[in-house]
Structure 1
C-alpha cells in the first residue's frame, strides 16, 4: 500500500477546515491538501490538482465526504477517473466508497452522490435567490458594493490609455473597463 493523501475543502474563509484536517490525519493521511472555494467547479482548486498530480500507483486519495471533492456528477467522476488513471484509489470516508475502477457499485455511488451534490447546489442557489428577493422588497439589499472606480477608468481613458493598460493599472479585468466606460 502506498501513501494516503487527504483532501479537505471549505466554501469560505470563515469556515473551519481544521476538523476535516484532523480527521483525515487520524484516518491515515500523511499530508492533507486544502482548498477554500466552491465545490461547484474544479477551476481554481490548486491543492486538489496538486494532490492528483502527486498520486503514484498504490496511493490513495482520501476525502471525508463526496461534496468535499465536488458538487457535480461529472466533476466527481472526473476526479475518480483521474485517480484510477494513476493506478491509485479514491476513498471517501462517509459514506464508505472505495473507487479503484474495478467495482461498478462504487462508480454508481459516486454518480448518485454527485447528483445529490448537484441538487444541494440547486437548493442553495434557490434559497439565496429567495433571500435576495425578500431583502430587495424590504429595501435592504443593494447588491455587492462596487470594487472599481468608474471615474478612475474614465480619467485614464481620457488620457489616451487603452483598455488593456487601464485594466493592468487598476488590477481589474478588461471587461470591467469596458463596462465602466459604457456606464
Structure 2
C-alpha cells in the first residue's frame, strides 16, 4: 500500500512548495509534481500516468481538489475510477477521504461548489465582455488595414496596376493580411 501525493501548479513561475510540504507532512511516500493547466486535460501527463499506476489499497493525496481536476464531471470520473479500483482519495484542504460514506458526500458537495464557482467566473466574464461591447469596445487585435487602404488596394487590383503582392508591400502588410482585408470587404 503506497500513499502518493500529487502536486500541480498552472505555470512555471508558481511554486510547488506549499503543496509538497503539506503532502509530505500528511505522510506521502513520494510526491509527483506537474506544471500544467488544469483546463487542458492533455497538459497533465504525470497525473494520468500516476492514476494508472495506482493499485488497490493505495492512497492518492492532493492538497486541494482543484489540483486534481477542473470540472465536477472530470473530478467525479477520476474519483469513480479510483473507487472502482480500490484506490482511496484524500484531499487535505477539504479534509475528504472517499473511503467513508460521509467522505463521499462531502466530496460531491465540494465538487459541486467548485463547479459553481467556475461557472460564476465564466458568467461574470461574459457579462463584462457584453458590457464592453455595448460601449463599443471589442476584443482582439485592431485591423492592420483601414477601410480606405482596402479600397485603395481593390482599386489597384481592379485596374491591374499592381499584383496582390505589390499592393500588400505598398501598404506595408503581408499578402495574407491584404487577402483577409479584401475578403472581409467583399462580405460586407
| TM-score of the superposed pair, with normalisation by structure 2 | 0.63
Are residues 12 and 57 of structure 1, via their aligned partners in 2, closer, same or farther at CA, if it must alter by over 3 Å?
Answer: same
Structure 2 distance, partners of 1:44, 1:28, is 27
- Specify the alignment match of 2:11 in structure 1: 12
User: Residues 97 and 104 of structure 2 are in contact (CA less than 8 Å); yes or no, is this contact kept in structure 1?
Assistant: no
Q: Does 1:123 align with 2:123?
A: no
Q: Does 1:55 align with 2:80?
A: no
User: Residues 3 and 60 of structure 1 are in contact (CA less than 8 Å); yes or no, is this contact kept in structure 2?
Assistant: yes
Q: Deviation of residue 93 (structure 1)?
A: 0.9
Q: State the Cα deviation string for residues 63-104 of structure 1 (Å, max 9, x = none).
A: 01111112311211111122123222111112211113xx33
- Specify the alignment match of 1:113 in structure 2: 110
Task: Please tell me the root mean square deviation across aligned C-alpha atoms, in Å.
Answer: 2.9
| TM-score of the superposed pair, with normalisation by structure 1 | 0.64
Q: Deviation of residue 46 (structure 1)?
A: 0.9
Mapping of residues 62-77 of structure 1, within 5 Å: 62-77=61-76
What is the DSSP-based 3-state SS (H/G/I as helix, E as strand, rest coil) of the residue aligned with 2:43?
A: coil
What is the DSSP-based 3-state SS (H/G/I as helix, E as strand, rest coil) of the residue aligned with 1:35?
A: strand
Are residues 35 and 14 of structure 1, via their aligned partners in 2, closer, same or farther at CA, if it must alter by over 3 Å?
Answer: same
Instruction: Report which of the two structures shows the higher radius of gyration computed on alpha carbons.
Output: 2
Question: Which 5+ residue runs of structure 2 have no aligned equivalent?
Answer: 142-175, 181-188
**Pairs aligned (count):** 144
Q: Deviation of residue 6 (structure 1)?
A: 0.5
Are residues 58 and 15 of structure 1, via their aligned partners in 2, closer, same or farther at CA, if it must alter by over 3 Å?
Answer: same
User: Residues 70 and 114 of structure 1 are in contact (CA less than 8 Å); yes or no, is this contact kept in structure 2?
Assistant: no
User: Residues 65 and 94 of structure 1 are in contact (CA less than 8 Å); yes or no, is this contact kept in structure 2?
Assistant: yes
User: Residues 91 and 97 of structure 1 are in contact (CA less than 8 Å); yes or no, is this contact kept in structure 2?
Assistant: yes
Are residues 99 and 66 of structure 1, via their aligned partners in 2, closer, same or farther at CA, if it must alter by over 3 Å?
Answer: same
More off after superposition, 53-62 vs 38-47: 38-47
Are residues 135 and 9 of structure 1, via their aligned partners in 2, closer, same or farther at CA, if it must alter by over 3 Å?
Answer: farther
Q: Deviation of residue 107 (structure 1)?
A: 2.2
Are residues 138 and 22 of structure 1, via their aligned partners in 2, closer, same or farther at CA, if it must alter by over 3 Å?
Answer: farther
